[in-house]
Amino acid sequence: MTNSRHSPNIFEDEEAARHWVHSSFDNQGTVVPSDVRDKLHLRGLVPSGIDSFENQEERAMEQLRLKKTDLEKYMFLAWLKNTNLQLFYRMLLDNLEEITPLIYTPTVGSACLQYSHILPFLAPPGQPDGLFISLKDLDNLDELFRNYIEALPEPELTPQITVITDGSRILGLGDLGVNGMGIPVGKLQLYVAAAGLDPRRTLPICLDFGTNTDRFLEDKLYLGLRQHRPDDEQFFAAVDKVMKALTRHFPNIFIQFEDFSSEHAFDLLSKYRDDYFCFNDDIQGTGAVILSGFINAVQQAPVDPREHRILFHGAGSAGVGVAKQLMDYFVIEHGYSEEEAKKKFWLSDSKGLITKDRGDRLAQHKVFFAREDNDGHQSKSLLETIDYVKPTALIGLCAQSGVFDEAVLKRMAELNERPIVFPLSNPLDNAECTFASAMKHTDNRVIFASGTAFPSYQVPGTDEIRVPGQGNNMYIFPGLGLGATLAKPKCITDTMIYAAAKSLAGSLNDDEKAHNLLYPRLTRIREVSVDVAEAICTQALKDGVAKDDVVRRLKTPEALREHARENMWEPTRKTEDIVHSNL
Ligand SMILES: NC(=O)C1=CN([C@@H]2O[C@H](COP(=O)(O)OP(=O)(O)OC[C@H]3O[C@@H](n4cnc5c(N)ncnc54)[C@H](OP(=O)(O)O)[C@@H]3O)[C@@H](O)[C@H]2O)C=CC1
Ligand SMILES: CC(=O)C(=O)O
Ligand SMILES: [Mg+2]
C-alpha cells in the first residue's frame, strides 16, 4: 500500500503545502531532502544536516532508552507518534519486542491509571488522541463526528476501524472511566504495527459515561465526567445512539468492543453482532487466542486430548468467552456433543466453584457452565476446587495477583506430568502467577502462557533457557481486523473466529515448534496476521457473508494472502517516497 495523497500538488497549491508541512504524517522533519525543503520553504526551519532514516531512528531509540521509567517511555512514544507518525511506526516495527510492552500491556495499564495526569503531554493541541463521547453529548453526536473528521490530518481518509470502550473494566484494573482511552489507542497501534491497517484510518473511541471509582471522581485532575455511571436502561440507550451515529458517519466501519464490564459485554455483543460489522475482543478475540495456545499445548501434554479437564479461575467476559471457544474445540475436533463438551469445564469466581445449587443468583453469563453434577458439593478455595476437579489445565482470568500460589502450582504438578497453567490476567501485576514461580513449583514441567509477557527463565543448574508463551488477544485481533476490512462480511461468524484460532495455532514455524512455543515469535507478527486474515477471508467466503468483490474473486489461500500483504500499510523507508511519486 502506498502512502500517496493524490491531490492537490503540494508544490503548486499553497494550502496543500501548508498542510503537508504541518502534518505529522507527511513531514518527517530531519530526513526531508533539501530540494523538498526549498520548495516548501523549510530552509532554516530544521538544521542543515539531512538525516538517513537509520540515524533518525537511532536518535529516537537513544532518547527512548534514556527515559528512566516505562511511563516516561510511554509518554515519549505517544508524543513521537503524534509528531512524526512514520518514524514511530518504523521504530515499533524494527523493535517490536522492546516497544510492544511500552505501548500495550503492561505499560498501557500504568498509563491508563495516570491518563488524566499525562494526557495534555501526549499530543500537540488540536490533535486528538481519539474521540471522547460524553454522556452529556448524546444530542451532539453529529457535531462530535464532524469535529473529529475536520481535525484529522487527512479528512478524506475516513476511519475504517474503531476500538470502542467505556473504560468500565480496563485490563484487570477495574473501572477507570475516561482514563480508559489508553486502551483503544494502544490496540489500534497494534492494528497498524501487527497487521498494516492504515494509521490514518483508525479511530479510538472512549465513551465517557462517568465512573463508579470514587478516587477518580475525587481527583481534581480527572478529565472525565464527574458522575457515577448510568443505570442499564440509560446505558444501552446511550450506546445505541452512538452506534447509530458512528455508522451513519462511517457506514463500513469495523467495530471492536473492548473492556466493557462483563455485565454489559455479552449483551452488547448479542445485540449488535448480527446487524453491525463488529466483534468483542475480550470474549471472541481472547477465546480465539487461547484456543490456539490450547491446541498447541494439548500436543505437548502426554494426555489423550479427550481426557482434558479444564478449570477456569475467573468467570467474567474473558473466562466465559474462552471456555465457550475451547468447548468448540471438543465439538469440532473430537466429535463431542455440546452437552458432553461442556462437562469438561469447571468455572470458579469470587464465591468459589460455580454450581447451580450454590445458593446465590448467578449472573446470566455464568449459567451456561454452572455444574449440576456436583451432588451438593461446593468448594470455596481454589485448592479445594482443584482437589475436587483434578484439572489437567488451570486458566486464570480473575485479575487476582499471585492466586496461583506455591500450593496451587505444586498440586497441579502432582496431578499432571505436564500441567497446563495459563495465568492470563493483565497487566503483569495482576497475573495469577509468574513464569518463574510456575517453573519452580512444577519442577519445570509446566506448559505456560500468560496475558502479559514474562521474561525467559534459565533452568537452574543448566544452560537451558525456557521462553514463556504470551496468550494475548493481540495475536488475533490485528489479523482478524485486516481480514474483516478486506472481505467486508455482513457480520463476524463463530466459524470465522474458530478459523482464525486454528490458523494461529498452525502458524508456528519449525524453529518455534522445536522450542515448544505455543505462539509464534512476536517478530513474525505481520506474517502471522496475514495467515489469520486469509483464514478470516476464506471462512467468510465459505459462510457466504463476504461482500467484497475482489475477495470473492480470489479463491485460493495464496491469492488471499497476497491480497492481504499488498494491502498492508508500511511506513516510508525510502527518501524518494517522502514526496509522493504523483507530484
Ligand atoms: N490475555 C488476554 O488476552 C486477556 C486477558 N484478560 C484479562 O482477564 C481478566 C478478567 O477480565 P474479565 O473477565 O473481563 O473481567 P471481570 O471483572 O468481568 O471478571 C473477573 C472474574 O474474576 C472473578 N474473581 C474476582 N476475584 C476473584 C477471586 N478472588 N477468586 C476467584 N475469582 C475471582 C470474578 O468473580 P465474580 O464474578 O464473583 O465477581 C469474575 O468472575 C482481566 O485481568 C483482563 O485483563 C481479558 C481479555 C483478554
Ligand atoms: C488483553 C485484553 O484485551 C485485556 O486484558 O482486556
Ligand atoms: Mg481487553
Last residue of a domain, one of 471, 502, 531: 471
Residues 88 and 119 in one domain: yes
Residues 296 and 442 in one domain: yes
Q: Which of 74, 81, 89, 104 is flagged as catalytic?
A: 104
Q: Which of 187, 366, 488, 502 is flagged as catalytic?
A: 187
Confidence (pLDDT) at 313:
98
Task: Reply yes or no on whether 104 is catalytic.
Answer: yes
Residues 234 and 355 in one domain: no
| 302 Cα–ligand 2 center, Å | 30
Q: What are the residues whose beta carbons fall under 8 Å from the beta carbon of 159, sequence distance 6 or more?
A: 201, 202, 203, 250, 253
10-13: long-range pairs with CB below 8 Å, 24+: 10/40, 10/579, 10/583, 11/39, 11/40, 11/583
Gap between the Cα atoms of 170 and 177, Å rounded: 9
Last residue of a domain, one of 433, 448, 471: 471
Residues 256 and 293 in one domain: no
Q: Could you say which ligand is closest to the alpha carbon of residue 169? A: 1
Residues 449 and 520 in one domain: no
Give the confidence band of 580 by pLDDT, cuts at 50, 70, 90. low
Confidence (pLDDT) at 581:
46
242-247: long-range pairs with CB below 8 Å, 24+: 242/133, 242/138, 242/141, 242/164, 242/205, 242/207, 243/272, 243/276, 245/141, 245/142, 245/144, 245/145, 246/145, 246/162, 246/164, 246/205, 247/276
Q: What is the mean pLDDT of residues 267-279?
A: 97
Confidence (pLDDT) at 5:
46
Which atom of ligand 2 is closest in space to residue 451's alpha carbon? Answer: 1
Nearest CA to 172 among 313, 360, 365, 268? 313
Indicate whether 228 belongs to any domain: yes
Q: Tell me: the pLDDT tens digits for 50-101? A: 999 999 999 999 999 999 999 999 999 999 999 999 999 999 999 999 999 9
Task: Report the range of poorest mean pLDDT among 12-21, 169-178, 257-266, 318-327.
Answer: 12-21
CA distances from 27 to 19, 81, 90 (A): 9, 12, 15
DSSP state of 395: E
Q: Is 444 left (phi over 0), alpha (psi -120 to 50) or beta?
A: left
Whether the CB-CB separation of 525 and 475 falls below 8 Å is answered with yes
Residues 521 and 457 in one domain: no
Task: Reply yes or no on whether 191 is catalytic.
Answer: no
Residue 181, SS3 per DSSP: helix
Residue type, 374: N
Residues 326 and 177 in one domain: no
Confidence (pLDDT) at 7:
61
The residue whose CA has the least distance to atom 5 of ligand 2 is 171
Pocket test for ligand 1, best of 398, 400, 452 (most atoms within 8 A of CB): 398
Binding site residue list for a divalent metal cation: 258-259, 282
- Ligand 1 pocket at CB < 6 A: 169, 171-172, 262, 282, 286, 289, 313-319, 348-351, 397-400, 424-426, 430, 451, 471-473
DSSP per-residue codes, 472-509: -GGGTHHHHHHHHHHH--SS--HHHHHHHHHHHHTT--
Q: Tell me: the pLDDT tens digits for 409-455? A: 999 999 999 999 999 999 999 999 999 999 999 999 999 999 999 99
| 397 Cα–ligand 1 center, Å | 4
Find the CATH number of the domain harbouring 514: 3.40.50.10380
Residues 155 and 118 in one domain: yes
Cross-strand partners of 255: 162, 278
Indicate whether 63 belongs to any domain: no
Residues 297 and 237 in one domain: no
| 73 Cα–ligand 1 center, Å | 28
Q: What is the mean pLDDT of residues 367-393?
A: 97
Q: Higher confidence at residue 158 or residue 502?
A: 502
Gap between the Cα atoms of 12 and 10, Å rounded: 6
Q: Is the pLDDT of residue 2 over 80?
A: no
Indicate whether 550 belongs to any domain: yes
Query: Does the bond joining 106 to the residue before it have cis omega, within 30 degrees of 0?
Result: yes
Residues 456 and 501 in one domain: no
Residues 130 and 245 in one domain: yes
Cα within 13 Å of Cα(389), Cβ side: 33
What total of structural domains would you count in the chain? 4
Q: What is the mean pLDDT of residues 346-360?
A: 97
Q: How many CB atoms lie within 10 A of CB 339?
A: 7
414-418: long-range pairs with CB below 8 Å, 24+: 415/386, 415/390, 415/391, 416/301, 416/303, 416/392, 416/445, 417/301, 417/302, 417/445, 418/300, 418/301, 418/302, 418/303, 418/445, 418/446, 418/447
Q: Tell me: the pLDDT tens digits for 198-257? A: 999 999 999 999 999 999 999 999 999 999 999 999 999 999 999 999 999 999 999 999
Confidence (pLDDT) at 582:
43
Share of the chain above pLDDT 90, in %: 91
Residue-number span of the structural domain to which 31 is assigned: 14-51
- Ligand 2 pocket at CB < 6 A: 171, 259, 281-282, 426, 451, 472-473
Find the CATH number of the domain harbouring 438: 3.40.50.720
Indicate whether 266 belongs to any domain: no
Indicate whether 126 belongs to any domain: yes
Gap between the Cα atoms of 189 and 154, Å rounded: 18
Confidence (pLDDT) at 74:
98
Residues 552 and 406 in one domain: no
Indicate whether 272 belongs to any domain: no
Indicate whether 9 belongs to any domain: no
Q: How many residues does the chain have?
A: 583
Indicate whether 62 belongs to any domain: no
Q: Tell me: the pLDDT tens digits for 564-575? A: 999 999 999 998
